[in-house]
């Protein structure tokens, strides 16, 4: 049964929140996440109080502040350095170079009789098209250039620089354990100051003549005057601790404990050791329920098995509801850790029609499959494996970024999170391409059929009458949605979108919304593809955090149970790599988070979150013992 649209949360079906951000975010301000995690502004948009000229006490008149930008504007400006010195740090800044222009950012600069480049390595900034230097923007001058990762098959030349007159963003990390450079979100290279490779390259460069080059270990950050106009903004720095750690972006600790939700549960027809003696962890990626009176939960594992069991703390018996292990690509295969059975959703009228839906990676073909199954007529704890009706097949050019989360909305339609096709840098440019299914949130009507398809297209889908688009698209600009979930009280659709090199993000998905990928990662510019002016401005993430905090977001659910009152109404999410679980408070008026709290002190590699009919939220993880479902105490 569908609810009238007027009764459904206005946010879930609005054209977009008020907080939108084009390619250039508000300049020279820290986001709340940045502030909490230790980033500081080196330029506030109005003054140069953090800077002075090299070997001088003030800033020369050749540098000026205009329209919130720090500009090298006239001759004799001279090299600019920070008043403070930095040893291990991260730097993020945006630059705009003039046509044919050249500049640079140096670090660990020590003031001597010679120029800054005698001591400080230089990160090149220039117009890559009209510039007069063969060293490109983002290269470490005469030492390191953009290099594709060793695992890439085709080894393309990386040049993510945007043209002269446009803003580019540099990320630089300098630390004893290793340093790296990204340009417009693209990873360029890693280096370690002083190791054999470093020494060999320095010996072959002009810097071999300067005994103090790269030796200081601490020094000033320098903006180079190379005689050309260049502008800087959003200059942010973060010092790294002695262990290279950074502060957590939290407002406090909730200090909840974790408990096995069903400690006696035995998984029907599953063992942690296979016939060959190999350990195989049980990886649960979904825990959900049906709208019936049976009080059962349904758990789906990435290997392709779905179980059902009673929602009782002392339950011990489970039933293998559906076994797709012969149809689903094994996540344990090389490079296939993002494949397998990826989604499960029970039809809103499951009690009447016995229908449920799965999303999985095809065992032998490069495609994802969305299918409908039915429960057995003879056994409510077993599905009919022969009842499969394939609704949608999506070609997958690569093994990763399959998305696969599926959820029924309060409108009765099925929402499907689809990744951008994989690899890196969105090679098919699918995120902003409305003619492709990849990189989108889809919305379909599983109770209708239309235009020869085994499903219908809701008439109010945002692109249903737009030529050259896929009518199934509900929202776009998504990289790898892991995972999506509706808030059962407000109807908001939440999404954790996994980032590439630098940023993870939490989004509230709205009808027709553009979430920026792959011209943006979070609120930061990505790559150098021209922005399609026909596309709406990207929507600001509710929350984002950088890869100093975590590297793979696990989208969660809004807690709506009274059992742990401190969590009620908060969006629970995690980072799989960091093993941290957070609770996010949300302001619907601004479209942004107001508070981020760490929920438990333990570290858990959370694969997904589940929910029961009472609004209780569970978190799911790996276990060779089958101990995968936890709840908060």
| Residue that wins the pLDDT comparison between 333 and 327 | 327
What is the 3-class SS of 56-68, one letter each residue? CCCCCCCEEEECC
Given a cut of 70, whether residue 508 has pLDDT beyond it is yes
Given a cut of 60, whether residue 103 has pLDDT beyond it is yes
Given a cut of 80, whether residue 18 has pLDDT beyond it is no
User: Nearest 5°: phi and psi at 188?
Assistant: -100, -50
pLDDT of residue 10: 30
Rounded Cα gap, residues 547 and 501, in angstroms: 7
pLDDT of residue 533: 85
CATH dotted code for 262-531: 2.120.10.30
What is the pLDDT of the chain when averaged over all its residues?
93
Averaged pLDDT, 413-441 = 96
Rounded Cα gap, residues 78 and 612, in angstroms: 64
Share of the chain above pLDDT 70, in %: 95
pLDDT of residue 6: 34
Averaged pLDDT, 494-510 = 97
Whether omega before 516 lies within 30 degrees of 0, making that bond cis, reads: no
pLDDT in tens, 584-593: 999 999 999 9
pTM of the model: 0.93
pLDDT of residue 12: 34
pLDDT in tens, 113-141: 999 999 999 999 999 999 989 999 999 99
* Per-residue b or e along 551-580, where b marks 16 or more CB atoms closer than 10 Å to that residue's CB: bbbbbbbbbbbeebeebebbbbbbbbebeb
Share of the chain above pLDDT 90, in %: 88
Rounded Cα gap, residues 141 and 207, in angstroms: 10
Q: Which residue do the tokens 């340009």 mark?
A: 183
DSSP strands (E only) in 240-302: 252-256, 258-260, 282-289, 296-301
DSSP strands (E only) in 468-552: 473-476, 481-486, 493-497, 503-509, 520-521, 524-525, 543-546
Model confidence at 250, pLDDT cuts 50, 70, 90, reads: very high
pLDDT in tens, 200-232: 999 999 999 999 999 999 999 999 999 999 999
Q: From the CB of residue 128, how many other CB atoms can be counted at a distance below 10 Å?
A: 20
Q: Which CATH class is domain 39-239?
A: mainly beta
Strand partners of residue 375:
383
Q: Check if 39-239 and 262-531 are the same fold.
A: no
pLDDT of residue 23: 47
Averaged pLDDT, 68-84 = 97
pLDDT of residue 356: 98
* Per-residue b or e along 617-627, where b marks 16 or more CB atoms closer than 10 Å to that residue's CB: bbbbbbbeebe
What is the C-alpha end-to-end distance of the chain, expressed in Å?
35
Contact 115, 79 (CB under 8 A): yes
Nearest alpha-carbon partner for 406 in 515, 321, 481? 481
Averaged pLDDT, 71-80 = 96
Kindly list the distances between the CA atom of residue 332 and the CA atoms of 335, 338, 397, in Å, as whole numbers in the listed order: 8, 9, 19
pLDDT of residue 25: 55
DSSP letters spanning 22-82: -SS--TT---HHHHHTT-EES--SS--TTEEETTSSS--TTEEEETTEEEE-STT---EEE
| Residue that wins the pLDDT comparison between 54 and 9 | 54
pLDDT of residue 32: 96
Given a cut of 70, whether residue 2 has pLDDT beyond it is no
Strand partners of residue 429:
none
Domain chopping of the chain, boundaries: 39-239, 262-531
pLDDT of residue 167: 97
- Supply the DSSP symbol for 164: T
pLDDT in tens, 520-569: 999 999 999 988 888 989 999 999 999 999 999 999 999 999 999 999 99
Contacts of 422 (CB under 8 A, 6+ apart): 338, 396, 397, 398, 399, 400, 401, 402
Model confidence at 155, pLDDT cuts 50, 70, 90, reads: low
Half-sphere exposure of 365 (CA within 13 A, CB side): 9
Lowest mean pLDDT among 270-284, 404-418, 519-533: 270-284
Task: Please give the structure tokens belonging to residue 541.
Answer: 């993430």
Lowest mean pLDDT among 6-15, 119-128, 333-342: 6-15
């Amino acid at each position: 049964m569908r609810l009238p649209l007027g009764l459904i949360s206005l946010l879930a079906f609005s054209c977009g929140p008020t907080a939108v951000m084009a390619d250039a975010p508000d300049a020279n301000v820290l986001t709340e996440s940045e502030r909490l995690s230790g980033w500081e502004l080196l330029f506030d948009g109005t003054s140069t109080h953090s800077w002075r000229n090299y070997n001088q006490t003030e800033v020369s008149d050749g540098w000026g502040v205009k329209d919130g930008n720090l500009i090298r504007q006239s001759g004799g400006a001279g090299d600019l350095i920070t008043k403070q010195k930095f040893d291990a740090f991260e730097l993020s800044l945006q630059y705009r170079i003039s046509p044919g222009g050249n500049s640079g950012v140096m670090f660990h600069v020590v003031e001597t009789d010679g120029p800054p480049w005698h001591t400080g390595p230089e990160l090149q900034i220039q117009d890559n098209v009209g510039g007069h230097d063969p060293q490109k923007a983002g290269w470490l001058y005469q030492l390191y250039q953009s290099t594709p990762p060793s695992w890439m098959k085709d080894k393309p030349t990386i040049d993510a620089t945007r043209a002269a007159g446009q803003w580019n963003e540099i990320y630089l990390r300098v630390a004893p354990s290793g340093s790296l450079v990204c340009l417009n979100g693209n990873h360029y290279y890693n280096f370690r100051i002083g190791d054999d490779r470093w020494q060999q390259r320095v010996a072959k460069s002009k810097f071999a003549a300067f005994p103090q080059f790269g030796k200081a270990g601490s020094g000033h950050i320098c903006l180079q005057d190379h005689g050309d106009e260049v502008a800087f903004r959003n200059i942010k720095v973060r010092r790294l601790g002695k262990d290279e750690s950074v502060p957590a972006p939290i407002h406090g600790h909730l200090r909840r404990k974790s408990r096995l939700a069903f400690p006696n549960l035995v998984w029907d027809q599953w063992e942690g050791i296979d016939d060959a003696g190999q350990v195989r962890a049980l990886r649960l990626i979904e825990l959900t329920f049906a709208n019936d009176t049976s009080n059962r939960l349904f758990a789906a594992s990435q290997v392709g098995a779905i179980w059902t069991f009673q929602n009782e703390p002392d339950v011990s018996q489970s039933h293998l509801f559906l076994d797709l292990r012969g149809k689903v690509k094994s996540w344990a295969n090389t490079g296939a850790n993002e494949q397998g059975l990826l989604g499960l959703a029970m039809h809103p009228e499951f009690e009447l029609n016995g229908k449920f839906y799965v999303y999985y990676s095809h065992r032998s073909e490069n495609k994802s499959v969305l299918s409908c199954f039915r429960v057995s007529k003879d056994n409510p704890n077993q599905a009919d494996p022969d009842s499969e009706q394939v609704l949608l097949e999506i070609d997958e050019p690569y093994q990763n970024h399959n998305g696969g989360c599926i959820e029924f909305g309060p409108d009765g339609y099925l929402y499907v999170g689809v990744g951008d096709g994989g690899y890196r840098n969105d090679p098919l440019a699918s995120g902003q391409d409305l003619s492709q299914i990849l990189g989108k949130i889809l919305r379909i009507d599983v109770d209708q059929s239309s235009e020869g398809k085994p499903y219908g297209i809701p008439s109010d889908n945002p692109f249903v009458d737009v030529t050259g688009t896929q009518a199934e698209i509900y929202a776009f600009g998504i990289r790898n949605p892991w995972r999506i979930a509706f808030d059962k009280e407000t109807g908001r659709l939440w999404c954790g979108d996994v980032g590439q090199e630098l940023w993870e993000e939490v989004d509230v998905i709205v009808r027709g919304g553009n979430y920026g990928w792959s011209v943006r990662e979070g609120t930061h510019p990505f790559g150098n593809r021209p922005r399609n002016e026909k596309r709406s401005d990207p929507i600001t993430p509710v929350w984002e955090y950088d890869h100093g905090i975590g590297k793979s977001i696990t989208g969660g659910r809004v807690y709506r149970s009274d059992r742990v009152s401190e969590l009620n109404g908060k969006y629970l999410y995690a980072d799989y790599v960091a093993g941290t679980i957070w609770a996010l408070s949300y302001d619907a008026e601004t479209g942004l988070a107001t508070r981020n709290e760490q929920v438990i002190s333990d570290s858990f590699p959370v694969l997904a979150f589940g929910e029961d009919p009472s609004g209780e939220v569970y978190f799911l993880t790996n276990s060779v013992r089958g101990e995968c479902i936890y709840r908060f105490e």
